[in-house]
Amino acid sequence: MSVPAKKRPRSEKRKRAIQQALKKSKYILCPKCKRPKKPHLVCSYCGSYKNREILKSKLDKKELKKLNKQKAKTAEKQK
């Protein structure tokens, strides 16, 4: 049989309420376009996952060119 609500301590009620609270969603930066994306999911902007293009990107051709140029620059710096 269940215990009436008035006989339950406040702490018990609050402990239960914690489990129902909304949790802050986690975000990471996409390694390709540096925009925030959810971990373990395809990036919604550039459509890449693990540095492979999976979906068609929402980015303009100009933006993609810029990104490729930046990548080339960073690659040169590493050498």
**Binding residues for Zn ion (CB under 5 A):** 30, 32-33, 43, 45-46
Q: Give the C-alpha distances (Å, rounded to integers) separating 22 from 8, 17, 33, 74.
A: 24, 10, 29, 40
How far is it, in rounded angstroms, from Cα 55 to Cα 70?
A: 21
- DSSP at 21: S
Nearer to Zn ion, 30 or 79 (CB): 30
Nearer to Zn ion, 14 or 50 (CB): 50
Quote the least distance from Cβ 73 to Zn ion, whole Å. 18
Nearer to Zn ion, 8 or 28 (CB): 28
